[in-house]
Amino acid sequence: MTAPRHGLVWVVTESAGGRVLPGGLGVLAWAAGVATTVEAVHWGPDAGPVAAAVGRHGVRRLLAAGDLGGALPGVPVAAALAARIAGGDCPDAVLFTASRDQREVAGRLSARLDRPVVAGAVGGPPPDGGTPQLVMLHPRFPAPPAPPPAEGGGEAAAVVSLAVPDDGRPAARVQRRGRPVGSGLGPSLDGAPVVVVAGRGLGPEDRFAQVEELARLLRGAAAATGAAVDAGWAPAAALVGQSGRTVAPAVYLAFGVSGASQHLAGVRGAGAVVAVDTDPSTPLMARADLAVVGDAPSILARLVAALSSR
* Pairwise CA distance, residues 297 & 267, whole Å: 22
Domain coordinates in residue numbering, the chain:
6-161, 194-308
Q: Phi, psi at residue 31, to the nearest 5°?
A: -60, -35
Is the sign of the CA dihedral 300, 304, 305, 307 positive or negative?
positive
Which is nearest to 31 in space by CA: 143, 170, 177, 145?
143
As a dihedral over the C-alpha atoms of residue 195, residue 200, residue 206, residue 208, rounded to 10 degrees, the angle is 10
**pLDDT exceeds 50 at position 181:** no
User: 194-308 falls under which CATH superfamily?
Assistant: TPP-binding domain (3.40.50.1220)
How, if at all, do strands 251-255 and 272-277 pair? parallel
Give the pLDDT of residue 169. Answer: 61
Give the pLDDT of residue 90. Answer: 94
* Pairwise CA distance, residues 282 & 277, whole Å: 8
Which is nearest to 38 in space by CA: 111, 151, 146, 164?
146
Measured between alpha carbons, how far apart are the two ends of the chain, in Å?
Answer: 54
Supply the pTM of this predicted model.
0.65
**pLDDT exceeds 90 at position 188:** no
The residue among 264 and 146 whose pLDDT is bigger is 264
pLDDT digits (tens, 9 = 90+) for 48-71: 999 998 998 889 999 999 999 888
One fold for 6-161 and 194-308: yes
DSSP character string of 120-155: EESS---SSS-SSEEEEE-TT--PPPPPPPPGGG-P
**pLDDT exceeds 70 at position 128:** no
Mean pLDDT of the chain: 83
pLDDT digits (tens, 9 = 90+) for 215-266: 999 999 999 998 888 888 888 888 888 777 878 888 999 999 999 888 888 8
pLDDT digits (tens, 9 = 90+) for 157-170: 999 999 988 765 66
How, if at all, do strands 15-16 and 19-20 pair? antiparallel
Which is nearest to 44 in space by CA: 63, 24, 25?
63
CATH fold of 6-161 = Rossmann fold (3.40.50)
